[in-house]
Structure 1
Amino acid sequence: MNDTSYINWIAMSDNALAQTIGAFVKHHRLSQNKTQEEVAGAANISRSTLSLLEKGGTITVPTLLQVLRVLDLLYIMEVFKIQEQISPIELAKLDQQKRQRARNSDNDSNKKSDW
């Protein structure tokens, strides 16, 4: 790919991925002008655990979620949302089942006119 912003996530090691996540957390913490103590206290974790996270160390998913919540970064969870996708064939079948025109009901045609 010619796009220089492209990152091959699959080719990255687990350690490199953890460091990328840690850098993301640290960047957003600093952009919000929050200290490690403030974020760690609000997330109910130790400062050393937050430091470990920011350096790409091993932490638990709940710990990561607590930090993301404190930093108002839970919007990134949107990528994990499962969306039902309908196949083109199913879409065509549903489209065929739609009403194409309106017609009078049988009861209306049996009524006698007052004329």
Structure 2
Amino acid sequence: MNDIVNIDLLSDKAIMKRIGLFIQQTRIDQNQTQAEVATQAAISRSTLSLIERGDNISLTNLIKILRTLNALYVLKSFEVIEELSPLKLAKGEIKRRKRASKIQEENPNNTDLGW
């Protein structure tokens, strides 16, 4: 049964368990043992076992495992796709923003009460 759950409502631990379950099911679907995947990913079998149970994982180990399972496609949603407005495109302003900035207040001088 596939339950549709709003992932935003899950705790960090619950999300790690889902990642672990995904890795475990993908590995089993490919008929690979933990030892085989761990060897190919250059991690220990016990590390893979911990990950499959939802324990804390390093990003590097996650990438190694996903690469070994040919499942890097799950990271596709991290791809940054910039949408250019027609106005910026016409002006030739196609530079990527490098910093975030706060919105300037209309009246930055707090001593002026507008009287």
Q: How many residues align?
A: 91
Normalized against structure 2, the TM-score is what?
A: 0.71
Asked if residue 12 in structure 1 is aligned to residue 10 in structure 2, the reply is: yes
* Distance of 2:87 and 2:18 partners within structure 1: 40
> Residue 87 of structure 1 corresponds to which residue in structure 2?
85
* Distance of 1:15 and 1:56 partners within structure 2: 7
1:61-100 per-position Cα deviation (integer Å, ceiling 9, x unaligned): 0000000000000111110000011236557889xxxxxx
Q: Percent same amino acid at aligned positions?
A: 44
Normalized against structure 1, the TM-score is what?
A: 0.71
1:22-61 per-position Cα deviation (integer Å, ceiling 9, x unaligned): 0000000000000000000000000000000000001100
Q: Find the structure with the greater CA-based Rg.
A: 1
> Residue 29 of structure 1 corresponds to which residue in structure 2?
27
Q: Report which of the two has the higher share of helix.
A: 1
* Distance of 1:44 and 1:89 partners within structure 2: 49
AA aligned opposite 1:87: S
Please list every run of 5 or more consecutive structure 2 residues that lacks an aligned counterpart in the other structure: 93-115
Please list every run of 5 or more consecutive structure 1 residues that lacks an aligned counterpart in the other structure: 95-115
> Residue 44 of structure 1 corresponds to which residue in structure 2?
42
Asked if residue 76 in structure 1 is aligned to residue 63 in structure 2, the reply is: no
Name the CA shift for 1:7/1:93 in 2 (closer, same or farther; >3 Å). Answer: farther
AA aligned opposite 1:85: E
AA aligned opposite 2:42: N
